[in-house]
Amino acid sequence: MDHTTRARISLIAAHLAHSEHSQLQNEGVLERIDCRSKGGASGFKVAVLGASGGIGQPLSMLMKMNPLVSVLHLYDVVNTPGVTADISHMDTTAVVRGFVGKEQLEAALVGMDLVIIPAGIPRKPGMTRDDLFKINAGIVRTLCEGVAKCCPNAIVNIISNPVNSTVPIAAEVFKRGGVYNPKRLMGVTALDVVRANTFVAEVVGVDPKEIDVPVVGGHAGITILPLLSQVNPSFSFTKEEIEYLTNRIQNGGTEVVEAKAGTGSATLSMAFAAAKFADACLHGLRGDAGVVQCAFVASEVTELPFFASKVRLGRAGIEEVYPLGPLSAYERSGLEKLKKELLASIDKGISSVRQ
């Protein structure tokens, strides 16, 4: 085999397998250790942790479609090679690499610009978001320890429920690792906004793309507070409409769990919302102006240490956290009602790490 042929095969091998153990064997026969994709446009490096799950798979597909992504790392404890092979066949430019098992977590995280964490078990009928805590808290803690070690400057999007507790857990893990940057840690509450936009659009009879509903507070039940008085463009709602919309937005997750009748929770709509939010983060990293989203973040907007509200995203991550603005009497009442429950969830997350 001449030098030119060997060089060409070596180049192909670099695309076929990311592992440093990948090698040429038996006179140029390639060992396919990992699933792969050829490509490599300029852009950002993104990791999805929990890529084989109900949210992770469609989310990974949507991130492969994003032109701002140049490298996409897919990690899970099982089934990642198959998911990676499947997604890698999509004719978009992002290079896809799969990682499976705890021993490959660090390799999945090195050099990432954005880490998205949907890992964990889904909510099942009769299960509260608090029930999820016992399992998902440990998963998030382990994954964030990997982030702290391998890509401490990455923006981290937490999807794993209960977000009201898992974001504080992530913050405590990063503090322990000496790498905590509140500007780069965000709980993804975008699904609450997506639902709010959809449900409001149904009531007023317009395209949901034309609606922007701020949703503040937290990401569970009554901690979800849509600010219908601040809908853009402005609409007038009756008392009955406000109560209907608020309740439906707050219970949107339960609506899906019950409709799926034991087969799962919100996965497709969550993946859609998470991909929209991740795209906003990437546009912010690129330096685009006016990138504003709602997210659950470290906050001084209220007396609570974490709170979901509008934030402006940029190269630093969160560059500005916006105040709540004027609230209606109904919203002020809802704000006071949610604080106790939200604080309890935050404290539970913090305590789980500090114990």
Mean pLDDT score, 37-64: 88
Whether 123 has a binding-site annotation, put simply, is yes
- The backbone torsions φ and ψ at residue 88, rounded to the nearest 5 degrees and listed phi first, read -65, -15
Mean pLDDT score, 176-201: 98
Q: With 0-12 CB in 10 A as exposed, 13-18 as middle and 19+ as buried, what is 235?
A: middle
pLDDT category, 125, cuts 50, 70, 90?
low
**Residues designated as active site:** 219
How many other CB atoms sit within 10 Å of the CB of residue 332?
A: 12
Contact indicator for 215, 193 with CB cutoff of 8 Å: yes
Domain 189-354 has CATH 3.30.390.10: no
pLDDT category, 22, cuts 50, 70, 90?
very low
Got the DSSP string for 145-164? HHHHHH-TTSEEEE-SSPHH
pLDDT category, 135, cuts 50, 70, 90?
confident
Is the pLDDT at 1 greater than 80? The verdict is no
Mean pLDDT score, 273-284: 98
What per-residue confidence (pLDDT) applies to 146? 98
Q: What is the mean pLDDT of the chain?
A: 90
Is the pLDDT at 96 greater than 60? The verdict is yes
- The backbone torsions φ and ψ at residue 122, rounded to the nearest 5 degrees and listed phi first, read -80, 165
One-letter amino acid identity for 67?
P
Closest CA to 161 of 189, 133, 191: 133
Whether 117 has a binding-site annotation, put simply, is no
Looking at the chain, which residues constitute the CATH 3.40.50.720 domain(s)?
39-188
Looking at the chain, which residues constitute the CATH 3.90.110.10 domain(s)?
189-354
How many other CB atoms sit within 10 Å of the CB of residue 52?
A: 22
What per-residue confidence (pLDDT) applies to 97? 98
pTM here is: 0.89
What per-residue confidence (pLDDT) applies to 129? 63
Query: Per-residue pLDDT tens for 151-161?
Result: 999 999 999 99
What per-residue confidence (pLDDT) applies to 159? 97
Query: Per-residue pLDDT tens for 193-223?
Result: 999 999 999 999 999 999 999 999 999 999 9
What per-residue confidence (pLDDT) applies to 126? 75
One-letter amino acid identity for 346?
I
Whether 160 has a binding-site annotation, put simply, is yes
Which run of H or of E encompasses 311?
Answer: strand 306-314
Separation between Cα atoms, residue 97 and residue 17, nearest integer Å: 8
Whether 56 has a binding-site annotation, put simply, is yes
Contact indicator for 46, 275 with CB cutoff of 8 Å: no
Is the pLDDT at 20 greater than 50? The verdict is no
Whether 55 has a binding-site annotation, put simply, is yes
Dihedral of CA atoms 300, 166, 330, 319 in degrees, nearest 10, equals 40
Contacts of 161 (CB under 8 A, 6+ apart): 120, 123, 129, 132, 136, 219, 220
Better pLDDT: 242 or 128: 242
Mean pLDDT score, 39-63: 91
Contact indicator for 94, 36 with CB cutoff of 8 Å: no
Whether 349 has a binding-site annotation, put simply, is no
Whether 165 has a binding-site annotation, put simply, is no
What per-residue confidence (pLDDT) applies to 19? 40
Whether 111 has a binding-site annotation, put simply, is no
Whether 159 has a binding-site annotation, put simply, is yes
Is the pLDDT at 2 greater than 70? The verdict is no
What per-residue confidence (pLDDT) applies to 10? 55
- The fourth-level CATH superfamily of domain 39-188 is NAD(P)-binding Rossmann-like Domain (3.40.50.720)
Whether 181 has a binding-site annotation, put simply, is no
Contact indicator for 341, 307 with CB cutoff of 8 Å: no
Is the pLDDT at 28 greater than 50? The verdict is no
pLDDT category, 262, cuts 50, 70, 90?
confident
